A and B are shown apart, each in its own frame.
Chain A
Amino acid sequence: MAILGALNPMLSVGLDGDNAWRLADYVKRGGYTALRRILEEKLPQGDVINEVKKSVLRGRGGAGFPTGLKWSFMPRSFPGDKYVVCNSDEGEPGTFKDRDILRYNPHSVIEGMAIAAYAMGAARGYNYIHGEVWEIYQRFEEALDEARAAGFLGSDLLGSGFNFDLFAHHGYGAYICGEETALLESIEGKKGQPRFKPPFPASFGLYGKPTTINNTETFASIPYIINLGGETYLEAGKANNGGTKLFSVSGHVNRPGNYEIPLGTPFATLLEMAGGMRGGRQLKACIPGGSSAPVVPAAAMMDCTMDYDSISKAGSMLGSGAVIVMDETTCMVKALERLSFFYYEESCGQCTPCREGTSWLYKVVHRIEHGKGRPDDLDLLSSVTTNIMGRTICALGDAASMPVQSFIKHFRDEFAYHIEHRKCLVPVDVQRAGSGFFTATV
């Protein structure tokens, strides 16, 4: 993938594929000026946090929690270590933006983390990069070496007396390690299993110390906020949805890839940037925020603008900004089967409803897809999802349930047809034609 297009971009300005990721290129683009200014002017920590608050930067990892507010939860006068942690464990199906940020603009993340560490008084940071992107982990290590050599990391940054050490840590590919407390456990060398909250990481995080965890894109946006000022950043997007965002568009479009657009841009514009629907087919449905977000049918989706509030009004979530586009050749049962398999596979197995429930969901959807559905299966599925949702330690249980609920809600007929006729409503040859992979006809 690559960053294929942008509207009024910030993060992707001046990027030139693999040729502009080095420190020198970043500095040429104006990099590290924000950090330098903060350190030279000895900007009060509160001012930095206020600037981020003003920008209404919302967490880019999926939950959309205001970043400035999160930073202000860190205890100010804690004696001892505090940590900032970057969550680059980008495991959500459909999401592939963080790896491009780390690949093409790694120094923006380093600078953002250093600013965050300054604002929260942390002296140590970790960037947890997921296991499947080894070459990106290696590139980030290289970028770290550059930053250390240039004095942007280490002790006494640019002679300011502020110390910040940053380390990269690569995972081994478990989706659950993208959950912030599981990620902390994993850094600590334990099995990646989410912790029960409270206590929250801001009071009991990495090694039991106050810790703030933000997404890669969130950290990458920080230098731009400091440079432009919070208000200007906010205005780049729309009210309550500050700035621009990278969207990973995949599925039945002509040009799948990452696109940076201001929040509030109409979905239709994004779809157009991505080259429109493949083969000129009709949009059937769209998952607007990564596989955990509820599916939105075509009509509702076309009315949406790409921001937290509009998508939420349509009954889904902006999530991580992974836009999965499905056209009319898609069998919704098969699509759900694949999604359910993912959550069943990736449940950490720690708490009962998720461990047992996700496998049950998958087994039932699998059965329906394979012509062995029972009349009461749809009620069973919705009952099982209610028994999972809100009863688990982390959000994976909810994430596994929401697709099931929304698929059944919007495409109940298709599921009912499957159960009754023991086959797809969308004929198999149509599905294969739409897939773009099958050439033979049935």
Chain B
Amino acid sequence: MEIEIDGKVAHVPDGSTIMDAAQQLGAYIPHFCYHKKLSIAANCRMCLVQVEKAPKPLPACATPVTNGMRVFTHSELAVKAQKGVMEFLLINHPLDCPICDQGGECQLQDLAVGYGGSASRFHEDKRVVFHKDVGPLISMQEMARCIHCTRCVRFGQEIAGVMELGMASRNMHSEITTFVGRSVDSELSGNMIDLCPVGALTSKPFRYSARSWELSRRKSISPHDSIGANLTAQVKNNVVLRILPRDNEDINECWISDKERFSYEALNSPARLRKPMVRVDGALREVDWNVALDYVSHALKDVVSNSGAESLAALASPQATLEELYLLQKLTRGLGSGNIDFRPRRRDFSADSKLGGVPWLGLKLSEIKDLDAAVVVGSFLRKDHPLFAQRLRQLAKKWGKVSLLSVSGDDPLIKLHAQVTVSPAELPLALAAVVKAVAQLKGEAVPAGLEAVKPCPTSESIARSLLEGNKRAIFLGNAAEQNPHAAQLHALASELARLTGASCGFIGEAANSVGGYVAKAFPTALNAYEMFAQPRKAYILLGVEPELDCHHPQQAVAALKGAALVVSLTSFSDGAARDYADVLLPIAPFTETSGSFVNTEGRLQSFNGVVRPLGDSRPAWKVLRVLGNLLGLPGFDQDSSEQVRDEIVPAGEGFVDGLNNSINGVPLSLPAAVGFLQRVADVPIYFADPLARRAPALQKTHDAVAPTARMGGQTLQALGLTDGATVRVWQASGEAVLTVRVDEAVPAACLRIAAAHVSTAALGDMFSAINVERA
């Protein structure tokens, strides 16, 4: 299709709109309701342009290009129409720019300069729109500013998968609102703030803290989930005041999750650790860095020489940077210990020695949109991976058949092809049923070990979806990685991939779940579970809070309390580390250090600090480097994080080498059933990492309510309990007192109790037998 816009010629595919063609030519057509990622509404009418032979001006966003079309965006007719619309938009707008939080970054304000009149012809009373309270993240205090573009409504329907905002009433009294009294709870809700072209939806935590022109914009990378969303950190006076998405079509598109957007509040939290602390006579005292590091190096040397290197263990957060993980493992190994790990939430490590390479997603994130079928195994999709789930949601809306095999029937807000919800112990069986169904459909021999499996119609339908189309994928989620039979699940998924030709991979728990392998921070001796099951004399903790982050927190805390030396490199002073740590070293969070993350697709993304470290905190890679020097270890002479990175990944930015999801030598065998009641533990989205836990606004959301003991109605009846009862729950070790709630999404004979919260930190394994009785 050939189209001429203001004399410039463009060639666009059939079905394009005038707006598409204009963007290709770089011609700007003013607009409000149009957004490249949302459906066309054509309701603001700002993009009216003149089209040759058309009697009326036409909206560029919705008018399809016809061959030979001639468009004028600045003709008298077009500009008159645009100015007319602008006048209508402004008559009821409060024009309160000086006190509006959007001032300076407002599309309406910008366009009003070009198309608005200098005086108003409207002398009547303006519309009054009541404010709404929709939760702690989005402010809807000044809804009179709304221009009814419905971007927020369409975002909910199309991207977040749930329509939480809608336009109620009609005529000039139409207003954007939630269903009576409801709040906006989507884990992607913050994007509506970005989408709002005026100051109607604003960020509650950010409001009135700065003007947009006072802020410097600095690039960063999200340290939260495994996608590696690109961020813009907005900084004023060395303080991060706002986090916004940075467009990257291959990773986060133009979105970020609320966790990424609002966790920054924790960076400025009073709980930040500002000075090193050393325990003297049972109490932690602030000391200088040289004192602290001296103390640590001597203490470590003492432990190693008195009790042997194997009595030392190091545990890092999978959200630590590549450089930090690398230096920590180098230091630990330098001292002679192989007890190093970065996967505190894992239970089953038996696949470690059988891996063909670095486990990863198995394909590029940008390839998800081309899949014909996808099967996700063991995931709380929306809460574990909001943006990954968003990609699957778009896929399912087009043609892709998305199936979910998981340990919870939570609604992923994805149009699913099939859903199987089973207990964690039965998850391998459910996956095996699909494997067997595929083998039977293909007429191939049933893999050894699966003879007894009986595929159900649902597993057959999933199997069929994996055999159709060109591109299919199997994804193992967090609940699969953390499952006590993780190696079996991995082996079954690999077998399924082999039989179907689909790709197989891990969605990844955190920002550096792939990077940890690249940095070699995985154990050659005791792993993250064993190092606490077999208590060590000394521990080094890097950015991790074992009381909340470990698979068996109660066991971890017991081991730490019994240890002679616990060195915690942390950004916060308020954790349980105050009780068990002997040394607290203040390290810089992601905004205050340079470093790199390797995201789930193996993409290496390096970033710089956006502000100076707070107080006396220092980048962890520097702390570890100096510690290496003090310990007299070789290879700790780097001057910059880039030098450290180049040691690990000489190729620099791009995709890392060695990505390989194959697993060899794990025979397929199905686990025995667990007793009557089994625990299902999710990691609630806003308890998942130390930053989110300390972000006040996120902690006020519905996703951050204290965990309850949730079970299906039948299980509840079998136990003789009632909804709302207070119960005592206990595992092989550890117990807690909680309230019972009925939740039909929990599989039968299971008790869902979230991990990562203080009220459940005294419990044991995330997925094992559990007992319950009336308290």
Contact in complex: B88, A353 (CB < 8 Å): yes
Q: How far is the CA of A350 from the CA of B59 in the complex (A)?
A: 14
Contact in complex: B121, A387 (CB < 8 Å): no
**From B57, B124, B171, contact of A348 by CB (8 A):** B171
Instruction: Check A349/B169 contact, CB under 8 A, given A363-B124, A387-B84.
Output: yes
Q: Which residue of B lies closest to A390 (CB)?
A: B56
Instruction: Check A352/B171 contact, CB under 8 A, given A360-B122, A391-B56.
Output: no
Residues of B within 8 A of A417 (CB): none
Residues of A within 8 A of B57 (CB): 390-391
Q: How far is the CA of A14 from the CA of B45 in the complex (A)?
A: 51
Is the C-beta of A281 less than 8 angstroms from some C-beta in chain B? no
Contact in complex: A349, B167 (CB < 8 Å): yes
Contact in complex: B45, A359 (CB < 8 Å): no
Residues of A within 8 A of B45 (CB): 351-353, 391-392
Instruction: Check A174/B170 contact, CB under 8 A, given A363-B124, A390-B55, A392-B45.
Output: yes
Instruction: Check A196/B62 contact, CB under 8 A, given A344-B171, A346-B171, A356-B172.
Output: yes
Q: How far is the CA of A344 from the CA of B174 in the complex (A)?
A: 12
Segment 165-205 of B: residues with Cβ below 8 Å from A: 166-167, 169-174
Is the C-beta of B91 less than 8 angstroms from some C-beta in chain A? yes
Q: How far is the CA of A391 from the CA of B173 in the complex (A)?
A: 20
Instruction: Check A191/B167 contact, CB under 8 A, given A198-B64, A352-B148.
Output: yes
Q: How far is the CA of A350 from the CA of B92 in the complex (A)?
A: 15
Q: Which residue of A lies closest to B45 (CB)?
A: A352
Q: How far is the CA of A349 from the CA of B41 in the complex (A)?
A: 13
Instruction: Check A352/B59 contact, CB under 8 A, given A347-B172, A360-B124, A387-B87.
Output: no
Is the C-beta of B651 less than 8 angstroms from some C-beta in chain A? no
Is the C-beta of B479 less than 8 angstroms from some C-beta in chain A? no
Q: How far is the CA of A174 from the CA of B124 in the complex (A)?
A: 26
Is the C-beta of A345 less than 8 angstroms from some C-beta in chain B? yes
Task: Count A interface residues, CB 8 Å.
Answer: 33
CB distance from B263 to the nearest CB of A (A): 36
Segment 253-291 of A: residues with Cβ below 8 Å from B: none
Is the C-beta of B43 less than 8 angstroms from some C-beta in chain A? yes
Instruction: Check A391/B84 contact, CB under 8 A, given A349-B148, A363-B124, A380-B121.
Output: yes
CB distance from A340 to the nearest CB of B (A): 12
Which of A176, A349, A352, A355 is most buried by chain B, counting CB atoms within 10 A of its CB? Answer: A352
Residues of A within 8 A of B64 (CB): 198
Instruction: Check A391/B85 contact, CB under 8 A, given A351-B44, A355-B174.
Output: yes
Residues of B within 8 A of A380 (CB): 121
Which of A355, A374, A393 is most buried by chain B, counting CB atoms within 10 A of its CB? Answer: A355
Residues of A within 8 A of B167 (CB): 191, 349-350
Contact in complex: A360, B44 (CB < 8 Å): no
Instruction: Check A355/B85 contact, CB under 8 A, given A196-B40, A350-B43, A360-B122.
Output: no
Residues of B within 8 A of A210 (CB): none
CB distance from B127 to the nearest CB of A (A): 8
Q: Which residue of B lies closest to A363 (CB)?
A: B124
CB distance from B66 to the nearest CB of A (A): 10
Is the C-beta of B79 less than 8 angstroms from some C-beta in chain A? no
Contact in complex: B88, A357 (CB < 8 Å): yes
Contact in complex: B81, A352 (CB < 8 Å): no
Is the C-beta of B663 less than 8 angstroms from some C-beta in chain A? no
Contact in complex: A345, B88 (CB < 8 Å): no
Residues of A within 8 A of B56 (CB): 390-391
Residues of B within 8 A of A163 (CB): none
Is the C-beta of A216 less than 8 angstroms from some C-beta in chain B? no
Q: How far is the CA of A196 from the CA of B89 in the complex (A)?
A: 20
Residues of A within 8 A of B84 (CB): 353, 386-387, 391
Interface string of B23-53 (1 = CB under 8 A from A): 0000000000000000011111110100000
Residues of A within 8 A of B556 (CB): none
Q: How far is the CA of A359 from the CA of B170 in the complex (A)?
A: 12
Q: Which residue of A lies closest to B61 (CB)?
A: A196
Q: How far is the CA of A279 from the CA of B235 in the complex (A)?
A: 79
**From B40, B81, B171, contact of A355 by CB (8 A):** B171
Residues of A within 8 A of B740 (CB): none
Is the C-beta of A358 less than 8 angstroms from some C-beta in chain B? yes
Q: How far is the CA of A357 from the CA of B122 in the complex (A)?
A: 11
Is the C-beta of B140 less than 8 angstroms from some C-beta in chain A? no
Interface string of A382-411 (1 = CB under 8 A from B): 010011001111000000000000000000
Is the C-beta of B486 less than 8 angstroms from some C-beta in chain A? no
Is the C-beta of B374 less than 8 angstroms from some C-beta in chain A? no
Residues of B within 8 A of A196 (CB): 40-42, 59, 62
Q: How far is the CA of A359 from the CA of B85 in the complex (A)?
A: 14
Q: How far is the CA of A196 from the CA of B150 in the complex (A)?
A: 15
Residues of B within 8 A of A352 (CB): 43-46, 85, 88-89, 147-148
Residues of A within 8 A of B46 (CB): 352
Contact in complex: B85, A345 (CB < 8 Å): no
Q: Which residue of B lies closest to A359 (CB)?
A: B172
Residues of A within 8 A of B92 (CB): 356
Q: How far is the CA of A196 from the CA of B88 in the complex (A)?
A: 20
Contact in complex: B43, A359 (CB < 8 Å): no
Q: Which residue of A lies closest to B174 (CB)?
A: A349
Q: How far is the CA of A51 from the CA of B85 in the complex (A)?
A: 45
CB distance from A203 to the nearest CB of B (A): 12
Q: How far is the CA of A284 from the CA of B467 in the complex (A)?
A: 77
Segment 348-383 of A: residues with Cβ below 8 Å from B: 348-353, 355-360, 363-364, 367, 374, 380, 383
Q: Which residue of B lies closest to A367 (CB)?
A: B124
Residues of A within 8 A of B88 (CB): 352-353, 355-357, 360, 387
Contact in complex: B42, A346 (CB < 8 Å): no
CB distance from A91 to the nearest CB of B (A): 13
**From A347, A383, A390, contact of B171 by CB (8 A):** A347
CB distance from B578 to the nearest CB of A (A): 55
**From B40, B43, B81, B172, contact of A351 by CB (8 A):** B43
Q: Which residue of A lies closest to B166 (CB)?
A: A191
Q: How far is the CA of A24 from the CA of B722 in the complex (A)?
A: 61
Residues of A within 8 A of B174 (CB): 348-350, 355
Residues of B within 8 A of A364 (CB): 124
CB distance from A367 to the nearest CB of B (A): 8
Which of B44, B59, B124, B147 is most buried by chain A, counting CB atoms within 10 A of its CB? Answer: B124
Q: How far is the CA of A191 from the CA of B150 in the complex (A)?
A: 13
Q: How far is the CA of A196 from the CA of B60 in the complex (A)?
A: 12
Q: Which residue of B lies closest to A350 (CB)?
A: B43
Q: How far is the CA of A351 from the CA of B85 in the complex (A)?
A: 10
Segment 314-348 of A: residues with Cβ below 8 Å from B: 344-348
Contact in complex: B42, A359 (CB < 8 Å): no
Q: How far is the CA of A367 from the CA of B124 in the complex (A)?
A: 9
CB distance from A131 to the nearest CB of B (A): 14
Segment 615-636 of B: residues with Cβ below 8 Å from A: none
Segment 88-145 of B: residues with Cβ below 8 Å from A: 88-89, 91-92, 121-124
Contact in complex: A358, B62 (CB < 8 Å): no
CB distance from B92 to the nearest CB of A (A): 6
**From B42, B48, B173, contact of A349 by CB (8 A):** B173
Q: How far is the CA of A158 from the CA of B43 in the complex (A)?
A: 47
Q: How far is the CA of A390 from the CA of B85 in the complex (A)?
A: 12
> A: which residues have CB within 8 A of B?
174, 176, 191, 196, 198, 344-353, 355-360, 363-364, 367, 374, 380, 383, 386-387, 390-393
> B: which residues have CB within 8 A of A?
40-46, 48, 55-57, 59, 62, 64, 81, 84-85, 87-89, 91-92, 121-124, 147-148, 166-167, 169-174
Interface CB pairs A-B, < 8 A, 11 = A176-B170, A346-B171, A347-B170, A349-B171, A352-B46, A352-B85, A353-B84, A356-B172, A359-B171, A387-B87, A391-B85
For the A-B complex with A351-B44, A353-B45, A360-B124 known, give 19 more contacts whose Cβ atoms are closer than 8 Å.
Answer: A196-B41, A349-B171, A349-B174, A350-B43, A352-B44, A352-B85, A355-B171, A355-B172, A355-B174, A356-B92, A358-B171, A359-B172, A360-B88, A360-B91, A387-B84, A391-B48, A391-B56, A391-B57, A391-B84
> Which 8 pairs from chain A and chain B are nearest by CB?
A349-B174, A387-B84, A390-B56, A356-B88, A359-B172, A347-B171, A196-B42, A363-B124
